[in-house]
Amino acid sequence: MNPAIHADVVIIGSGAGGGTVAAALAPLVAQGKRVLVIEKGARIDPKQLTGAEVASASLLYGHGGAHPTADHTVTLAYGEALGGSTMVYTGTSMTPPERVITSWNLPGLSYDDVVARTARYAAQNNAGFIPDNLINDNNRLFQKGCAALGREARQFPINVRGCRGSSLCNLGCPNNAKQGTAQVQIPAAQAAGVEVVTRAEVRGLRVGGRGGILDVFVDDLPHPHGSQSEWAPGHHVIHASSVVVAAGAIHSPALLLRSGLAGDLPAIGRFWTCHPAHILAGEHDHVISNYVGHPKSFVWEERVEAERYFLESCMYFPFITAKNLTGFGADHERLMAAYERLQMILVLACDDALPEQRVAIDVNGDPVIHYKLMPKTIEAMVRGTRAAAEIFFAAGALSVHAPSARPTLIERSENADLNTRITTAQFLPGTISVSAAHLMGGCRMGATPRDSVTTSRGQVHGHDWLFVADGSLFPTALEINPYLTIMAVADHVAEAVADREGQTVPRGGDAVPAAS
Amino acid sequence: MIRQEVLAPLARQIQPILATFIPATAKLSLADLGPVLARVDERLADEPEALQRQLKLFIRILWWLPVFTHLRTLGGLSPEQRLKMLSWLQDCGVTKLRVGLWGLRTLLFVGWYGDPAVQERLGYRPNIAGWDAWHAPQAPQNQGE
């Protein structure tokens, strides 16, 4: 075993949550504190990002981008590298809906406060609208279809700097244009003296000393591209005054469960939720620019409150496309052959955070996600599928592939029959590819340890040394792409950590200057 | 590094399944299947052994299942019969069977559509230079919108 390590603050994870806390607490180093970031994934050099679909997915994602739920009917995507999921997101920088934040009813975390923090991080990450000439046909067709139907598609602010339109966001930007935590917050934190250790997994937390004791294992497995760990392989023990768990909505609750905290906190792992999603493809009679440019420029969300779904323009790589088109055989193959003529729309549903939807652990302590698509969620996805099909046809598509239709291909002449062609009866979990990348809950904030895990400041009930700072804190689904809200909430948690350490830090992400 | 073989030893049983999922692969020989299954095995390498065992068992079940209905293995069925059988499984009332078929289908798609040469044949030619490459003289030209 390696010699014991002593630190003041240890942050587990380096994504939108952990990266934010690292940068926000970086000023503590100048005040004599030792701050560590422990990241399970590898440090990736942008030069190693080639855009090769399968190899890049293995390099950057947990479970290659398809962590299955317990019954294997939904797959979950999250990044596993320095920068976490900010390495593989599209950088869509959204302010959360007021009704969602207000419904959380968390003291000290008002909507205005969240908005102010998201605005600061949006500025820090250079979020803005990409110029018109970078928007491709695939996205324009979404906007055109919406406009023809009297629907207002909103352009996503995107956090890029020097985007060339490689469209490889989900495989890690080879041009380092996306301004994720590996590009902005982590380098700023390191420059201020925060230490970052990669390829190191925290397997357990215990109470001890001034705070907690962490059991960390550094791997020595061959890794095709990412760099080696900064630490020697093997078991390391860290003593820390404050511990911030920011390993994401799957691994944060799993770590707390492995650490034996569920006895006092029955809500750990529970109230887990996501935005289950599937892809529709519309076939046009001509080649369109789809795999070049930014892949995700527009969202249509006018029905999210009433009908619990929203739609986004999107484009995916060939294997992901093949996986997401329902079925197989000649029809499937023919549609794949039309790849250059395909327009794509992502249907995302908002489901309820229920206690039975939960992260548990197996005998090895690894996470198992017990998550089922509820009837209300399926109904929302079916409504979204119909709305997406209307947009395709309004944009001029000849046919639409709809997962919850049989046969799945709907011809333009059937446009008037969408309600009968696309039905919940034909939405078969296990047949239709459903995936989610917006993972939330499992360590929800709340007032009491009976039905929540942390306070509204992310401090675990009954454990004043332990904090959570990632999407697992969300009490309900956010109803929009979540990274900027995760940063805002993590920033709020960082202030609580600084308070515990008896220090002050600049408020609201000011430790890192706004992008010029 | 020693490459772990998971599905490669079952190439003979997988061949008719792959040909049903992706008819263009029907003309591939067992030797041609090697690189396809190698990509699948690479993807499976980090998955738990229990999952790998379940997958192999599922493939063997698919191989023998038609014996009960057609008195021959999956390899002895016509393409139409295979398509009918696998389509029935895809939409059957047993979630575990649907999930098993979906999982196998997805893995075989990794093996085929994850191949950069196949991707290029589909017209997918990504370039780090993005729009600059798209607008370059030899790049595919936008014909619409």
Residue B79 has pLDDT above 80, yes or no: yes
For A412, counting Cβ atoms within 10 Å of its Cβ (0-12 exposed, 13-18 middle, 19+ buried), the class is middle
Residue A391 CB neighbour total at 10 angstroms: 28
Any idea which of A36-50, A187-201, A436-450 has the lowest mean pLDDT? Answer: A36-50
Beta carbons of A293 and B144 less than 8 Å apart: no
Judge contact between A254 and A359, C-beta under 8 A: yes
- Select from A51, A164, A428 the Cβ nearest to the Cβ of B91: A428
pLDDT of A376-408, one tens digit each? 999 999 999 999 999 999 999 999 999 999 999
A245 closest CA partner among A64, A84, A67, A92: A84
For residue A327, is it left (φ>0), alpha (ψ between -120 and 50) or beta? left
8 Å CB contact of A328 and B116: no
| Contact yes or no for A236/A5 (Cβ under 8 A) | yes
Rounded CA-CA distance A275/B91 in Å is: 24
What's the burial of A162, exposed, middle or buried (CB within 10 Å: 0-12/13-18/19+)? exposed
Predicted pLDDT of residue A220: 81
Taking CB atoms and an 8 Å limit, are B109 and A319 in contact across chains? yes
| Of residues A275 and A55, more confidently modeled | A275
Does B102 lie at the interface with A, CB-CB under 8 angstroms? yes
Rounded Cα distance, A96 and A103, in Å: 12
Arithmetic mean of pLDDT over chain A: 95
Across the interface, do A164 and B23 touch by the CB < 8 Å criterion? no
Each domain of chain A, given as residue ranges in start order, spans 17-126+170-270+439-500, 132-156+277-350+374-428
- In this structure, are residues A183 and A49 in contact, taking their beta carbons and an 8 Å threshold? no
pLDDT given at position B1: 46
Q: How confident is the model at residue A457 (pLDDT cuts 50, 70, 90)?
A: very high
Chain A residue numbers touching B20 (CB-CB < 8 A): 328-329
Residues B46-55: tens digit of each pLDDT: 788 898 999 9
**Weakest-pLDDT range from A298-312, A344-358, B64-78, B128-142:** B128-142
Distance CA A276, CA A380 (A): 10
Q: Is B69 on the interface with A (CB under 8 A)?
A: no
Q: A132-156+277-350+374-428 has which fold?
A: Cholesterol Oxidase; domain 2 (3.30.410)
Contacts of B86 in chain A (CB under 8 A): 328
Q: Which residue among B102, B118, B130 places its CB closest to the CB of A166? A: B130
**Which residue blocks in A154-312 are alpha helix, DSSP H?**
185-191, 248-258, 304-307
As a whole number of angstroms, the distance between CA A464 and CA A441 comes to: 20
Give the closest of B43, B90, B119 to A431, CB-based. Answer: B90
Return the CATH architecture of domain A17-126+170-270+439-500.
3-Layer(bba) Sandwich (3.50)
Q: Is residue B56 within 8 angstroms of chain A, CB to CB?
A: no
State the Cα torsion A25-A26-A32-A38 to the nearest 10°: 80
The percentage of residues in chain A with a pLDDT greater than 90, rounded to a whole number, is 91
Whether B43 sits inside 8 A of A58 (CB atoms) is yes
Complex prediction ipTM: 0.93
**Is residue A10 within 8 Å of residue A480, measured between CB atoms?**
no
| A216 within 8 A of A237, measured Cβ to Cβ | yes
In this complex, which of B23, B128, B143 lies closest to A175 when CB atoms are compared? B128
| Chain B CB contacts of A337 below 8 Å | 122
Residue A302 burial (10 A CB sphere; 0-12, 13-18, 19+): middle
**What confidence score (pLDDT) does residue B140 get?**
52
Q: Is the pLDDT of residue A245 over 50?
A: yes
**pLDDT confidence band for B5 (50 / 70 / 90):** confident
Q: Which residue of B lies nearest to A335 if distances are taken between CA atoms? A: B122
Higher local confidence (pLDDT), A175 or A508? A175
Q: Which of A71, A140, A336 sits opposite B113 (nearest CB)?
A: A336
Interface test with A, best of B124, B125, B135, B141 (most A CBs within 10 A): B124
Model pLDDT, residue A222: 73
Q: What is the pairing mode between strands A154-155 and A158-159?
A: unpaired
The residue written with tokens 């003593």 in the block is A239
For an interface test with B, the pick among A291, A325, A398 (most B C-beta atoms closer than 10 Å) comes out as A291
Question: Do residues A14 and A182 make contact, with C-beta atoms less than 8 angstroms apart?
Answer: yes
Q: Is A356 buried (19+), middle (13-18) or exposed (0-12) by CB count in 10 A?
A: exposed
Closest CA to B109 of B31, B13, B39, B47: B39
Q: Which residues of B touch A287 (CB under 8 A)?
A: 123, 140-144
pLDDT of residue A342: 98
Nearest Cα to A55, choosing from B115, B56, B94, B103? B115
Q: How far, in Å, CA of A498 to CA of A51, rounded?
A: 40
> In whole angstroms, what is the distance from residue A281 CA to residue A215 CA?
46
Side chain identity at residue A363, one-letter code: V
Structure tokens at A460: 């675990």
B142, pLDDT greater than 50: no
Tokens, residue A169: 């966001």
How far apart are the C-alpha atoms of A170 and A285, rounded to whole Å? 27
Measure B7 CA to nearest chain A CA, in Å.
17
Mean pLDDT of A24-47: 95
| Residue owning tokens 């519309």 | A282
Spatial distance between the Cα atoms of A135 and A127, rounded to a whole number of angstroms: 16
Chain B positions touching A406 (Cβ under 8 A) are 91
Helices (H), chain B: 11-21, 30-44, 49-64, 67-70, 79-90, 95-113, 116-121, 131-135
